């Protein structure tokens, strides 16, 4: 069999996509590249193809098929509820070498069985979870999308690890309808396997992406920004913490366990300054304890970690984007209709009106979040 290379032209790439997609729909086996290993793919709706896959790779027992999908949106076709924690990791890690296990309910199981047949559906589930992966190899994702089929891809490791199509043993090559050439894998380890249920994350298998990296990415980080980080932004962080606690129906102390972190910083802040006494008093009256707050400057690390950044003025937002243009898509003024002026030196009544306005705006912003 000729290995199909797509280096020559877009037309060749299109032809490869169509031929591979047609083969999958017909229940044939297709060789596909991923960023961790070269794999053999089969449509999970075709019983003959799944049996051919087992025979070709000598798979026995309960394989726990990994469903390879062309985009994150495809998960919704299998699982009725994707926890917010899973949505965050999917957004940050896909496409990429991370397989994610999600729980399925009874209705999901019945739909899966209807779509795949009960045997394949049962073999795909592991302890009530389905496993998904979205490879970073664009050509493979294009083939998956074009096929319109739920597809599993199994790495070729029966005898020895196969990284590229040219290394396939002849005995296996003869069993494949289409073989798609691709780059050598970027990673020498298998994909990292993560299991998510509600707010709980378990790294089942550490692979291409280290567990410490996964742990760093699981939190939702919300950052409030003003100038000196002693008035507006600490009040906003304190009030947001209280509102999030109420929204999630958990104590404030439990927010980190739910992977929700609220931070504040200043674009011109000195480090270690306490919050203004008026800010501490008014925030306390409104159920937000910020007496231990100490100011911090806004750093590149905090900008990168943040999911959402809310600034008190348009000038703050402009300064952030001027420094880090990629932050534009997640940086917003807390009030979309105008600036929240600095109350420093203007007395408790101004602080109170400012805090009340901030509280109302935060409630609107929290309603927009995926919690």
What would the pLDDT profile of 187-214 be if each residue is shown by its tens digit?
A: 999 999 999 998 899 999 999 999 999 9
**22, 219, 339, 342: the active-site residue:** 342
2 within some domain: no
pLDDT at 158: 57
Residue 30 has pLDDT above 50, yes or no: yes
- Domain end, chosen from 188, 217, 246, is at 217
Which CATH number covers residue 124? 3.90.870.10
* Maximum average pLDDT range among 10-14, 44-48, 170-174, 217-221: 44-48
54 within some domain: yes
Per DSSP, the three-state class of 123 is: helix
**Same-domain check for residues 268 and 167:** no
Residue 163 half-sphere exposure toward CB, CA atoms < 13 A: 7
Taking the CA atoms of 343, 344, 345 and 348 in sequence, report the sign of the dihedral they define.
Answer: positive
pLDDT at 1: 56
> Confidence class of residue 162 from pLDDT cuts 50, 70 and 90?
confident
**Same-domain check for residues 255 and 209:** no
**Same-domain check for residues 128 and 183:** yes
Work out the angle at residue 245's Cα, subtended by the Cα atoms of residues 244 and 246, and round it to the nearest 5 degrees: 90
**88, 226, 242, 317: the active-site residue:** 226
Q: Decide if 319 contacts 341 (C-beta within 8 A).
A: no
Mean pLDDT for the stretch of residues 146-174: 89
Residue 25 has pLDDT above 80, yes or no: yes
Residue 291 has pLDDT above 60, yes or no: yes
Identify whether 134 is a catalytic site residue: no
- Domain end, chosen from 157, 185, 217, is at 217
**Same-domain check for residues 243 and 209:** no
> Confidence class of residue 3 from pLDDT cuts 50, 70 and 90?
low
Mean pLDDT for the stretch of residues 141-166: 90
369 within some domain: no
**Same-domain check for residues 152 and 237:** no
4 within some domain: no
Mean pLDDT for the stretch of residues 273-291: 98
- Rg of the Cα atoms in the chain: 25
Residue 369 has pLDDT above 80, yes or no: yes
**Same-domain check for residues 229 and 213:** no
Residue 70 has pLDDT above 70, yes or no: yes
Choose between 130 and 84: higher pLDDT: 130
Identify whether 226 is a catalytic site residue: yes
> Confidence class of residue 8 from pLDDT cuts 50, 70 and 90?
very low
371 within some domain: no
* Mean pLDDT (the chain, rounded): 94
**Same-domain check for residues 316 and 191:** no
Mean pLDDT check: name the lowest of 117-121, 180-184, 354-358: 180-184
**Whole-angstrom distance, CA of residue 189 vs CA of residue 33:** 15
260 within some domain: yes
**Same-domain check for residues 193 and 283:** no
**Same-domain check for residues 103 and 235:** no
Q: State both tokens at 139.
A: 């050509």
Taking the CA atoms of 146, 148, 149 and 151 in sequence, report the sign of the dihedral they define.
Answer: positive
What's 347's DSSP letter? -
- Domain end, chosen from 217, 248, 274, is at 217
**Same-domain check for residues 102 and 249:** no
**88, 133, 232, 317: the active-site residue:** 232
Q: For the segment 320-353, what is each residue's pLDDT rounded down to a tens digit? A: 999 999 999 999 999 999 999 999 999 999 999 9
Which CATH number covers residue 340? 3.40.50.2300
Mean pLDDT for the stretch of residues 100-129: 96
Residue 5 has pLDDT above 60, yes or no: no
**Same-domain check for residues 143 and 59:** yes
| DSSP for 62-83, written as a single string | ----EEE-SSGGGGGGT-S---
233 within some domain: yes
**Same-domain check for residues 23 and 149:** yes
Q: How many domains in the chain?
A: 2
> What is the residue range of 37's domain?
10-217
Identify whether 342 is a catalytic site residue: yes
Note the Cα 52 to chain centre separation in Å. Answer: 33
């Amino acid at each position: 069999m000729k290995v199909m290379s797509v280096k020559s032209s877009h037309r060749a790439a299109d032809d490869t996509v169509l031929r591979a997609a047609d083969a999958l729909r017909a229940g044939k086996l297709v060789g596909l590249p991923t960023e961790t290993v070269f794999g053999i793919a089969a449509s999970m709706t075709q019983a003959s193809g799944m049996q051919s896959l087992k025979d070709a790779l000598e798979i026995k027992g309960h394989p726990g098929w990994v469903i390879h999908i062309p985009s994150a949106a495809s998960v919704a076709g299998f699982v009725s509820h994707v926890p917010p924690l899973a949505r965050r990791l999917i957004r940050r890690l896909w496409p990429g070498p991370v397989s994610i296990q999600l729980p399925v309910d009874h209705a999901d199981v019945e739909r899966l069985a209807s779509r795949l047949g009960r045997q394949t559906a049962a073999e795909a589930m592991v302890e009530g979870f389905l496993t998904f992966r979205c490879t970073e190899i664009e050509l493979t994702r294009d083939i998956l999308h074009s096929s319109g089929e739920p597809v599993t891809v199994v790495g070729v490791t029966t005898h020895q690890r196969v990284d590229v199509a040219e290394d396939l043993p002849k005995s296996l090559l003869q069993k494949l309808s289409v073989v798609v050439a691709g780059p050598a894998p970027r990673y020498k380890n298998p994909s990292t396997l993560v299991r998510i249920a509600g707010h709980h994350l378990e790294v089942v298998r550490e692979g291409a992406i280290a567990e410490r990296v996964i742990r760093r990415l699981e939190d939702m980080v919300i950052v409030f920004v003003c100038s000196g980080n002693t008035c507006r932004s600490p009040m906003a962080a304190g009030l947001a913490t209280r509102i999030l606690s109420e929204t999630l129906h958990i104590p404030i102390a439990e927010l980190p366990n739910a992977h929700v972190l609220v931070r504040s910083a200043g674009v011109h802040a000195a480090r270690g300054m306490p919050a203004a006494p008026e800010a501490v008093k008014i925030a306390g009256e409104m159920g937000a304890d910020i007496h231990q707050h100490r100011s911090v400057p806004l750093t590149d690390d905090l900008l990168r970690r943040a999911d959402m950044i809310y600034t008190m003025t348009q000038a703050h937002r402009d300064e952030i984007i001027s420094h880090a243009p990629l932050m534009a898509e997640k940086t917003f003024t807390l009030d979309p209709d105008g600036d929240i002026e600095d109350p420093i030196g203007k007395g408790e009544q101004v602080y109170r009106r400012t805090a009340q306005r901030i509280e109302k705006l935060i409630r609107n912003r929290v309603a927009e979040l995926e919690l």
